[in-house]
Amino acid sequence: MFSSRLTSKLKEAASVVAFTGAGMSAESGVPTFRGEDGIWKKFKPEELASFDAFIRNPEVVWEWYKYRKQLLLSVQPNPGHFALAEMEKIFPQFTVITQNIDNLHRRAGSGTVYELHGNIERNYCIGCGMKYSNEEIPSLDRAPRCAQCSGLIRPDVVWFGELLPVEEWNASVAAAERADIFFSIGTSAVVYPAASLPVSAKHAGAYVVEINIEPTELSHQMDEVLLGKSGDLLPRLVDVLKHSLVR
Ligand code: BV8
Ligand code: ZN
């Protein structure tokens, strides 16, 4: 199933990174951004996932995030998420770097998770910075307003044109540069600067492996491309690891 090169690299790896995108959560029923059922299909990113769009039309942007928050109440982590949580127990150093805002890695039990694009379960007031969980947000019929200063409340996610959270970004770059193996899983690798991480890892000496149901713009720079669903391939990798670790 897997090349002897990959299995031997896995056996001797000390530091491993899993960099994930929307494809990681596709098997949980969360629509991806650019696939045929992709959510960007119905909307244009700049129309919804940008601060300008939010200020111009907070009700429409909240409509979209309300829909996605609602959806996430009914989805579960899939075997791919659980396999990554397993890997954290197997490798001396294991880091998840995700572009996803669905919180599914943490719900599957992963401990070290850097969320480069924020988390849809968190919100904050653009006026005074007051934080709100989804449950604490005042009624969602229109764009919710802050109880403290009546400023607009927004989802704590990174929109286009916005900077990524500095600590998470710096920690992710450091993890990519010290990785022995770097997995790029379920991402079309078109959104920057996140998409630069697999190449940075490769230049720093990591063995880079792509897991995707189809080739991407990154594929030609990868050491290996495993074509298949992350929910299938990741648990199989964990099986190989467990058997190879048995003395
Ligand atoms: C910034 C949060 C700068 C919101 C998101 C440099 C070069 C080019 C462009 C730029 C650049 N620097 C900045 C830009 C602009 C922009 C950008 O990259 N645009 C792109 C579109 C060209 N970047 C930014 O604006 C970033 N900010 O750089 O600020 C700056 C500098 C100075 C001062 C101020 C600012 C911020 C980007 C963050 C945007 N926020 N999300 C929300 O989600 O609501 S992006 C959004 O796209 C999600 O986070 C998503 O994760 C991400 C990437 O998409 P993918 O995860 O890859 O998902 P996609 O659907 O595309 O692909 C799914 C893949 O899975 C497919 O390949 C599919 O085949 C595969 N798949 C499907 N099923 C499975 C599977 N694989 C395995 N198994 C399966 N079952
Ligand atoms: Zn406020």
Share of the chain above pLDDT 70, in %: 96
Do residues 130 and 205 both lie within one domain? no
- pLDDT per position as a tens digit, 143-181: 999 999 999 999 999 999 999 999 999 999 999 999 999
Count other Cβ atoms within 10 Å, centred on residue 115.
25
What does DSSP assign to residue 16?
Answer: E
Given a cut of 70, whether residue 36 has pLDDT beyond it is yes
pLDDT band at 48 (very low <50, low <70, confident <90, very high): confident
Given a cut of 70, whether residue 101 has pLDDT beyond it is yes
CATH of the domain at 61: 3.30.1600.10
Q: Which of 183, 184, 191, 209 maximizes ligand 1 atoms within 8 Å of its Cβ, making it the mutation to test the pocket?
A: 191
Between the CA of 7 and the centroid of ligand 2 the distance, in Å, is 52
Find the angle CA(115)-CA(22)-CA(78) to the nearest 5 degrees. Answer: 95
Name the residue with tokens 């929109």: 159
Between the CA of 162 and the centroid of ligand 2 the distance, in Å, is 20
Domain termination residue (choose one: 109, 128, 157): 157
108 vs 86: CA distance, rounded Å: 9
Q: Which domain range does residue 46 map to?
A: 31-74+118-157
Given a cut of 60, whether residue 110 has pLDDT beyond it is yes
Per-residue pLDDT, 226: 98
Q: How many domains does the chain have?
A: 2
pTM as predicted: 0.95
Given a cut of 80, whether residue 225 has pLDDT beyond it is yes
Mean pLDDT score across all residues of the chain: 94
Q: Which two tokens stand for residue 14?
A: 């000390």
Count other Cβ atoms within 10 Å, centred on residue 81.
29
Do residues 100 and 203 both lie within one domain? yes
Given a cut of 50, whether residue 247 has pLDDT beyond it is no
- pLDDT per position as a tens digit, 180-192: 999 999 999 999 9
- pLDDT per position as a tens digit, 128-137: 999 999 999 9
Amino acid found at 127: G
pLDDT band at 40 (very low <50, low <70, confident <90, very high): low
Do residues 37 and 93 both lie within one domain? no
Q: Helix, strand, coil proportions of the chain in percent (round to 5)?
A: 40, 20, 40
Do residues 184 and 133 both lie within one domain? no
Cβ neighbors of 3 (< 8 A, separation 6 or more) are 224
Query: Do you find a cis peptide bond into 45, omega within 30 degrees of 0?
Result: no
Q: Which two tokens stand for residue 81?
A: 């998420």
Question: What angle, rounded to 10 degrees, do the helices at 230-245 and 79-90 form?
Answer: 30
Ligand nearest to the CA of 210: 1
The separation between the first and the last C-alpha atoms of the chain, rounded to the nearest angstrom, is 21
Q: Which two tokens stand for residue 173?
A: 């770059």
For ligand 1, which residues put their CB under 6 angstroms from it?
A: 21-23, 26-27, 32-35, 38, 49, 99-101, 117, 157-163, 186-188, 190-193, 211-214, 216, 229-231
Which residues are bridge partners to 98 per DSSP? 20, 115
Count other Cβ atoms within 10 Å, centred on residue 65.
20
Share of the chain above pLDDT 90, in %: 86
Do residues 38 and 58 both lie within one domain? yes
Do residues 97 and 189 both lie within one domain? yes
Taking alpha carbons only, the member of 97, 92, 91, 90 closest to residue 112 is 97
Do residues 59 and 134 both lie within one domain? yes
Cβ neighbors of 90 (< 8 A, separation 6 or more) are 238, 241, 242, 245
Ligand nearest to the CA of 148: 2
